[in-house]
Amino acid sequence: MKKLYALLLSAVAAASLVACSSTTGTTSSSNKETDKNDKATTIKTEVKEMEKELQAVEAAVKSEDKKALTDKAAAMHKHWLEFENNVRDVYPLLYTNVEKYETPIFYESKNDAPDFSAAADNAQALKEALKDLENAKETKEKTSEVIEQAVKNYQEYVADQAGLLVDSTKAFTEAVKANDIEKSKEYYAESRVYYERIEPIAESFGELDPKIDARVNDVEDKSQWTGFHVIEQAIWEKNSLEGMDKYADQLMTDVLALQTEVAKLTLEPKPMVAGAMELLNEAATTKITGEEEAYSHIDIVDLNANVEGSKVVYQAIIPALNENDAKLADDIDDAFNKMEEILAKYKKGNGFIAYTDLKEQQIREISDQLSHLSELMSQTGKIF
Amino acid sequence: MAFFKHALIAIILCSLFGSSAMAEERPNVSRPLNGIKQTVKSLKEEDFAQAAVYFQEDKKWWTQNKQKIKNKSYDLAQKMDRQIAETSIGLVTKDMEQTQAALHTLQGLLGDYRDGSYTDNQGNTKITLASYIKKLENTKNSVEQKDYEAAAAQIQDLQKQWLTVEGDVVSQSQTAYDNTERDLMLLSAYIEDSASQMKTADVLTGMISTLAPFKSTKYTWLDAALIPFREGLEALLIIATLLTFAKKADTQKAKRWIVGGTALGLTVSLLLGMVVAFLLSTLAFGQNNNLINGWSGVMASGMMLYVSYWLHSNADVKKWNEYVQTKSDQAISNGKMVSFAVLAFLAIVREGLETVVFLIGMAGKMPQAELIGGILAGAGFLFIIAFVMLKFGVRLPLKPFFLASSGIVFYLCFKFMGSGIHSLQLAGVFPSTVMEYLPSIPVLSIYPSWYSFLPQLLFVTAGLGIIIHNQLKKNAAKHIAA
């Protein structure tokens, strides 16, 4: 009986193997090739130009000149936006590299008190990225390899963010335990950013997300409520950190547990891309409605972090997008830029204005762009 | 008979095992559905603030269930996530149209989740009767938009997917089941012929209205009882006839062969059925089932034609007695015994696998105890019929017994040929050409296609010929005697 069963099993397995084997092919026209060669030549000139702009930025960073930094970074950003599409087409992986360091410089420069040392690090890394781009040869990786690389890159990003989350949560919980309300406020906002950038990943670890991030409405039994938002309520609503020590300790434990889980994680392309969608949906479902940060009202900080996290996935999958639907890549890129532009209007200090200070029209503008972006991102699902 | 009993117990044990593996409850989505209902009501009063409060219920439900649904199906979870985001945005921006549209879509997705009609992470689609009807409607749309190529592809899918849902229908109405099987063939016949393509839409309309009453029925033990009863009755008639015959001929050996064939048929059906239900999907297997059904039906029919003739010719008592005497203790030759075993085997396998798949499919739709009780009741009833037939058949005088059994076997032979060819047409072995002027009586497996009707016509002609011929001979003999 057992033998018969095993025999049947193997027959079934063999049949399904045959059924599953399918062929995939890629096509490329010679037209596309010449077009790419032209683009590659233009890119080299543009990159040289951008390297000069970066030098100006570096000078401003060195002299810690806020005004100069804002101007030079803006000039470089404008130039980059002009030719980035070509780079994305021809050198998708290198494109992501440049974006990774260029964007933070630009947004850091807009802060009231920019972090010059962070800007200096990013500028150094950008210099190397640009050098790579200057010497680049067109890559001809297979889609599967490119996707594999994308997942690997994203996994590194998630690990980075988890590390930053641990650091800032440590500072936050220490401030809470030291009963320092002002410092707690500052580190609260910082920690939230790192969490919100990788929220879908955190959610995949079952119990950890509710323990870290549950809002009061999410829990059936209020005595079981733990995590960031308990302390948020104490800071902003109760104006007292009394009794928060145990919540701070628990939060630290949970965040460390999260980091451990992240280190063990093996991501697959599909969940990764789905995560990018989820981040945008999160932004629409709880941030733009002002429910996520019910006491601190830093919802736009979270929303911006969601968008950033989502963009990282988008950047990781650009090579695959280029192969399959270059038009979609263009559209998504535009939509992210537009979203960043809109959000930049509400920057205040090193963060954003409070949700409660947003006017209805402004909320609508953010919502519509979010909806548009999320619609575009959902179309990437067919590729993975 | 003891063997038969053991086989029955094996079925029950295995379905117990099977149902515990399949015992996943239908997810309860009444909470989010209710939330949507309240939200929609507030929207009708243009009270966005209140609507947002009601929609909180759905968001909360989503936070709690998102991971679970993601583990089942990323696609479905993503679609839901998106509609919840869209609704949230719509409520914040007070966009009535967007909010209502998103809520409507979300409601549908929740229904799909409840019914299991989505593509899961392994790429399998569980099809329910409700989603099957939806597919019929989609196909009809394609026909109405004159996109016949798409419609032809959809019809092929419909034929493949039928096995997954037919269990829901066969337990409820034999007529609806028979008619749908006929219509499935009509669909492919009409869509391939440009002159009749438009008629496909009418067939689809008919199918939708035939199947619609069963889409949301609740299942009870009676349904679980009717499946083995309906699917097993024909096989039982054959096996009981063969057994009675063996008894009349007083051969233990023949009896053992028949029981052995039956047991083997049951085992193979059970194993294959479980492999299909648990390892393959019924969807992937759909077309193969038609092949099994078809070939076993046609082969069984051929053998039964001979058995029926043989039984009929033995109706002459004098001849029978002579026969028994000449063969002394072995009235039935070895070759014949083997063919009886094969016939019993084919009769079981023909619908056996299907029955197992149906029953396993029912596991998620009613409490386990009720399901097992139902199967027991159905099988028990079959058992009683077999018992009565055997007792009654043995007591029956030789002549009426041979006439009656040859009649039963002939009727089943006729039916198996029709349904066998029809299944092979569905599997694409024979073309499904349909002629309007031919009769269509699905209950008797008479389909309006020459492929299945011609052999049936030949059977009847041959049968009638033999009866008339015998009658004439008898008359002639009487005449001489007088």
Residues of chain B found within 8 Å of residue A278, distances taken between Cβ atoms: 78, 81
User: Is pLDDT of A287 > 50?
Assistant: yes
Smallest CA–CA distance, residue B463 to chain A, in Å, is 41
Question: Count of H helices and E strands in chain A?
Answer: 15, 2
The residues, ordered by sequence, that sit 6+ positions from A15 with a Cβ below 8 Å of its Cβ are: none
Complex confidence, ipTM: 0.73
Q: Is the pLDDT of residue B184 over 80?
A: yes
User: Inter-chain contact A8–B271, Cβ cutoff 8 Å?
Assistant: yes
Q: Which of B75, B85, B279 sits opposite A281 (nearest CB)?
A: B85
Q: Which residues of B touch A364 (CB under 8 A)?
A: 92-93
pLDDT at A250 over 90: yes
Q: Picking from A188-192, A358-362, B190-194, B321-325, which range would have the lowest pLDDT averaged per residue?
A: B321-325
What's the pLDDT tens digit per position in A203-240? 888 789 999 999 988 888 888 899 999 999 999 999 99
Measured between alpha carbons, how far is residue A204 from residues A13, A243, A337, B66 in Å?
31, 30, 29, 10
Which residue from B60, B66, B91 is facing A217, i.e. has the nearest CB?
B60
* Cα of A242 to nearest chain B Cα, Å: 29
Hey, which residues 35-74 in chain B have their CB within 8 Å of chain A? 52, 56, 59-60, 63-64, 66-67, 70, 74
The whole-angstrom separation of Cα A371 and Cα B470 is 84
- Name which of B89, B99, B281 to mutate to probe chain A: the one with the most chain A Cβ atoms within 10 A of its Cβ: B89
Q: Which of residues 252-271 of A touch B (CB under 8 A)?
A: 270-271
Exposure string of B216-249, with b = 16+ CB inside 10 Å and e = fewer, is: eeebbbebbbbbbbbbbebbbbbbbbbbbbbebb
Q: Note the pLDDT tens digit of each residue in A343-364.
A: 999 998 888 999 999 999 999 9
Please give the average per-residue pLDDT across B318-322, as a whole number.
Answer: 67
Look at residue A13 in the predicted model and tell me its pLDDT: 41
Q: Is the CB of residue B13 less than 8 Å away from at least one CB of chain A?
A: no
Q: Which residues of A touch B52 (CB under 8 A)?
A: 289
Shortest distance, CA A284 to any CA of chain B (angstroms)? 5
Q: How far is the CA of A208 from the CAs of A255, A256, A265, A379, B468, in angstroms? A: 8, 10, 14, 30, 84
Q: Per-residue pLDDT averaged across B142-151, rounded?
A: 83
User: pLDDT value at position B327?
Assistant: 57
Nearest one of B60, B32, B92, B58 to A371, comparing CA atoms: B92
Q: Tens digits of per-residue pLDDT, B368-397?
A: 888 889 999 999 999 999 888 888 887 888
Q: Which residues contact A160 (CB under 8 A, 6 or more apart)?
A: none
pLDDT at residue number B14: 45
pLDDT digits (tens, 9 = 90+) for B466-480: 888 878 887 777 676
Are residues A19 and B284, on separate chains, in Cβ contact within 8 Å? yes
For tokens 């590299």, the residue is A97
- Span B11-43, pLDDT tens digits: 444 444 444 334 345 788 999 999 999 999 999
CA distance B244 to B332: 13
Taken as a whole, chain B contains a residue count of 482
CA A304/CA A287 separation, integer angstroms? 9
Residues in chain A with CB shorter than 8 Å from the CB of B88 are 284-286, 288-289
Over residues A264-286, the pLDDT tens digits come to 988 888 888 888 999 999 999 99
For the stretch B335-360, what's the b/e string if a residue is b when 16 or more beta carbons lie within 10 angstroms of its beta carbon? Answer: ebbebbbbbbbbbbbbbbbbbbbbbb
Residue A45 has pLDDT above 80, yes or no: yes
Closest residue in A to B87 (Cα–Cα): A285
Q: Name every chain A residue with its beta carbon within 8 A of the beta carbon of B284.
A: 16, 19
